[in-house]
Amino acid sequence: MTTTRRTVAVVGAGLAGTTAALGLLDAGFDVTLYSDRDRASLRDDVPATGTAVYFGKSRESDAQIIEDLYSAGPHSTGMSTRLYSGVGETRSAVLEFDPDFRYVAQGVDVRLRADDRLGRFLERGGRFEVDSVSVDDLDAIAAEHDLTLVATGKGGLSSLFPVDPDRTVYSEPQRTLLLVTLQGLGHDSDTWGYRSEAGGAHNLFNLHTEFGEAWLGPYLHKDAGPTWSFLGFAKPGSPWIERFEAVTDVHSARQAVVDLYRDYFPEDAPEVERLQVIESDPHSWLQGAVTPTVRRAVGRTANGHVVAAIGDTAIAFDPLAGQGAQNTAVQVAALVAAAREHSGDFTQEWLEEQFEKHWRTRGLAAAEVTRLFLGDPKYAVHAELVFPAAAVSEPVAAALFGLLSEPEPLLGLETREDILALIAAVSGEPAEDVLARFTPSGTFSASPRIEAAAVGADSV
């Protein structure tokens, strides 16, 4: 007796699409992956759409799809965090903390992750169709396949998945973004040693109360290998916006980063100045903004064929809390596992049930953690209590960044009493005692190059 393998179409060959295509192929489906670019162009002719950092737990989901190809690193194991306020004469150092994560985070060029998945997909017999897919094209594709997944909004495909007003909090971007990958610094204990004993194994996270955030973390570039990725987040009305929007190429992107540190985070500027562009990759930067959006993840084409959205097409996150790539890994791994065990048709009801499970177990919590780090008023009390507690209790700081890996505990922290109870539980002492120890930092340690430069100037 012969059996016909069930067929799947995946539209979009970014991280979500290639992950789903490879996972479903390995699960026994006959899979066709559609892209408007060929493999070489996907890897080399477009910028990375994000840093694709997997913080701890999401790496377990990704391992259900593909083995860890990047175990040699660089990895990050913690977050050296500083909070500033004011500018010029009013500039002040508010607080800092430098916890270990209690897990390992991995930042890999999304183009590399996707290309590696696409390569294995092709090696194992998957079909790759290079063509633009319109809404009408999708209707025909869905008619020919048992399951159709959409991992791109191009060609108007996102119109099939209306915004869910009950789950979408914002109507406009909360940050203007600048991303650039740079090289020239290692990842050993000497790098950033004035900030962290872990050196280059810890990310740098500088926050300014009025203007935005600057993140700099270990990264694996698709060509240059171990590098550093910068992500800048300018708040609405911030003077950083003009700087970010003036960027036109990789060189002006690097200069914008250097100038930002010189003007707002000068303690780190001499080290950041050592970072250089990756000349072989003119696409190693990106400027833009994201409106955090949750869509109804199951739709129908003009002729009634069911299609489902995955990854950013279903839930788009502001990247400040690093939830986008992680959400993709978790959603796709769960969907692949469910599809493997499902013997019936992939109906609208079944697909909606899978998305609702994902929303309950990860999506909602990831969206709320992003709101926390965006400084949403809903989480004002959380920030008021947790940040000063983190400055004097390393376990509290670790618990805060534990939410990047496993965001679900945030949903249980609704009241001031809940937050105080968390501080007490993780610190091992009364929350009031922890908070009473906090005093503003006043000053931050600085790159030794600043002192060396000053000594040199004096000698002259």
Amino acid 1: pLDDT: 39
Residue corresponding to tokens 């999304």? 110
Tell me the pLDDT tens digit for each residue of 333-385.
999 999 999 999 999 999 999 999 999 999 999 999 999 999 999 999 999 99
**Given pLDDT bands bounded at 50, 70 and 90, which one contains residue 457?**
very low
Q: What is the pLDDT of residues 66-98, one digit of tens each?
A: 999 999 999 999 999 999 999 888 999 999 999
What's the mean pLDDT in 197-226? 97
- Structure token pair of residue 135: 């809404």
For residue 13, give the nearest of 144, 140, 126 by alpha carbon.
Answer: 126
DSSP for 345-386, written as a single string = ---HHHHHHHHHHHIIIIIHHHHHHHHHHHT-GGGHHHHHHH
Q: What do you get for the CA distance between the two ends of the chain, in Å?
A: 89
The predicted pLDDT at position 88 comes to: 85
On the CB side of 137, CA atoms within 13 Å amount to 17
**Cβ neighbours around 60 below 10 Å, total:** 13
Q: Which domains does the chain have, with CATH numbers?
A: 7-50+110-170+293-367 (3.50.50.60), 75-108+171-290 (3.30.9.40), 376-437 (no CATH)
> In the prediction, which pLDDT does 136 show?
97
Closest CA to 305 of 129, 130, 135, 154: 135
Single-letter amino acid code for the residue at 142: A
Q: Residue 403 in 3-state DSSP?
A: helix
Task: Give me the phi and psi of 332, to 5 degrees please.
Answer: -70, -40
Residue indicated by tokens 């048709």: 345
Q: What pLDDT is attached to residue 458?
A: 46
pLDDT grade for 4, boundaries at 50, 70 and 90: confident
Here the tokens at position 194 are 């004035």
The per-residue pLDDT for range 159-199, each reduced to its tens digit, is 999 999 999 999 999 999 999 999 999 999 999 999 999 99
Give the Cα separation of 119 and 18 in Å (integer).
Answer: 9
Per-residue confidence (pLDDT) for residue 451, from 0 to 100: 67
CA torsion, ordered 215, 217, 222, 225, to nearest 10 deg: 150
- Please provide the average confidence, as pLDDT, over all residues in the chain: 96
User: What pLDDT, on the 0 to 100 scale, is given for residue 144?
Assistant: 97
| Helix (H), strand (E), coil (C) string for 157-194 | HHHHCCECCCCCCCCCCCCEEEEEEEECCCCCCCCCCC
pLDDT at 460 over 50: no
Burial letters for 247-280: b for 16+ Cβ neighbours within 10 Å, e otherwise? beebebbbbbbbebbeebbebbbbbbbebebbee
pLDDT in tens, 105-153: 999 999 999 999 999 999 999 999 999 999 999 999 999 999 999 999 9
CA triple 314-233-446, angle to 5 deg: 140
> Is the model's pLDDT at 456 over the cut of 60?
no
CA 142, distance to chain mean position in Å, is 30
